[in-house]
Amino acid sequence: MSNPTPSLRGAINAKCRDCIYDPLSGGGTWRAQVARCSELNCPLWAVRPQPESGPYAKQPTDPAGVTPASLAMPLGRAKTGHPIGTEVKSAAGVRS
């Protein structure tokens, strides 16, 4: 039996989680880390999953609404290459 095709929302959630979530970073749940994603050029950035409540709910979905303070929050490190590039980058822009 084959696996069913994921929904569009499920596929977006899975890609965002794979791209940025680091359970060892102490940066919160995968939704909290994805909500604070700083890769504004990503085609999924405006539709990234977000927590429904808590301090990271209702993050900006328009790049014009992003503040330096929101980009300074700690995040995990990407485990895989981002669709825009292959470098591993933290929210502060530190590349490794």
- Please give the pLDDT value at position 5: 82
Interval 36-82: pLDDT, tens: 888 888 999 999 998 888 877 778 888 888 877 766 655 544 444 44
Name the residue with tokens 């999924």: 44
Torsion, CA 30, CA 87, CA 72, CA 25, rounded to 10: 40
Mapping DSSP to helix (H, G, I), strand (E, B) and coil, where does residue 89 land? strand
- Please give the pLDDT value at position 87: 43
DSSP state, residue 15: H
pTM of structure = 0.63
Q: Are 77 and 18 in contact (CB under 8 A)?
A: no
The single-letter code of the amino acid at 47 is: V
Kindly state the average pLDDT of the residues 14-28: 90
pLDDT above 90 as % of the chain: 22
- Please give the pLDDT value at position 70: 67
